[in-house]
Amino acid sequence: MTTDETERGPTRHYVVDETDLDDGDRMLVEIEGREIGVFKVDGDLYALANHCVHMGGPVCEGRLMGYFTADDDGDLRYERDGEILACPWHGWEFDVETGEHIAGSKYRLPTYDVIVEDGEVYVLA
């Protein structure tokens, strides 16, 4: 990468028209030799590298789900439905918004900014 590229920052890459993505949808795109998953969750758009930090699995092809937590009385409650991504190879789970492993921030998937302009979705990479 040259100094000019560093100073310019990331490049916008067209992905899809926003109307073509419903909540819970995802699509995989290749940008500059990297496979990236773009997700629409509760109306928000997120982009993550499709390369699990555990063993390189296709994490963005995994299941979107939530998780159980216990309240003060010890009762279980299901939360964050559709916001947690589980790698299909070994089940490592990541927050779609931040890319962080849900068991701790030591492991994290690379994330990319997503912008919408005139109804078109772009990933900055």
Q: For residue range 48-75, list pLDDT tens digits in order.
A: 999 999 999 999 999 999 988 999 999 9
pLDDT in tens, 66-117: 988 999 999 999 999 999 999 999 999 999 999 999 998 899 999 999 999 9
Amino acid 55: pLDDT = 95
Q: How would you write the chain as a 3-class SS string?
A: CCHHHHHHCCCEEEEEEHHHCCCCCEEEEEECCEEEEEEEECCEEEEEECCCCCCCCCHHHCEEEEEEEECCCCCEEEEEEEEEEECCCCCCEEECCCCEECCCCCCECCEEEEEEECCEEEEEC
pLDDT band of 6, cuts 50, 70, 90:
low
Amino acid 121: pLDDT = 98
Average pLDDT of 12-28? 97
Q: Tell me the two tokens of residue 36.
A: 């990236």
Question: Which strands sit side by side in the sheet containing 76-86, from one edge to the other?
Answer: 63-70, 76-86, 93-95
Amino acid 2: pLDDT = 43
